[in-house]
Amino acid sequence: MAGVPDQELPAGGQAPLVLAKCAEMRGFCERWEPGGPGVRQWEERAAATAGWTE
């Protein structure tokens, strides 16, 4: 990625990192508005990311 320093990625590529961030953001949205649209959006993003093949 442009502007991002090189770093070692865990086995499995970037998907585990993105899934962890999705879970973090889903938790934030759940605390802010339980069951709200932000929660559903992050669940959808996590589901899409889980389907990545690298």
Share of the chain above pLDDT 90, in %: 57
Q: How far apart are CA 48 and CA 33, in angstroms?
A: 22
Is 6 or 15 the better-scoring residue by pLDDT? 15
- pTM of the model as a whole: 0.71
Nearest by Cα to 26 from 16, 51, 34: 34
Identify the top-confidence range among 4-13, 28-37, 42-51: 28-37
